[in-house]
Amino acid sequence: MELFDLLVTFVAAMTPIGELRLAIPLAISRYDVVWYVALPIAVVGNIVPVLVLVPGLQRLSRILLSFPNPAGRLLVWQGNRLQRVQSGRFERYGSLALVILVAIPLPMTGAWTGSLAAWVFRIPPRRAIPLIALGVLIAGLIVTVVTLSGIEFGKIVLAD
């Protein structure tokens, strides 16, 4: 386990596509980082963009929506999609739905989507950041267990 491996894990967790679903398996299976080191590094790496996105999306949206551009259209499209797909959950569970949205480690969920959802559903940053962080921690635990289980299963299957 080298510092470079830990840095790659940290940066992979910051990406909007990979997040924890990439960082934890990469660290454990490719770089042989033990799970109890990989998990906190990936979780912290995944929370870093949240600290910028949640308070910054309000300002960024004003800029992006003030003139026609592809990034503004993407923001509106993703915001509308989140509103359509998640509004029932947010009506039912309130801002705790943010934890659920972030905690499920599937495509189109995670910290980046949670940050956008906090903006769409007008959850204040002081409330949104801890909820997203809790969701990231839960997702990290799920991804770690699935990764370790998959590795053990692979050892059993390949041992024959």
- pLDDT by residue (tens digit) across 35-76? 999 999 999 999 999 999 999 998 888 888 888 899 888 888
Q: At residue 69, what are phi and psi to the nearest 5 degrees?
A: -165, 160
Amino acid occupying residue 151: I
- How much is the pTM? 0.89
Residues of the chain with pLDDT under 50: none
Spell 48-83 as b/e; 16+ CB within 10 A means b: ebbeebbbebeeebeebeeeeeeebeebeebbeebe
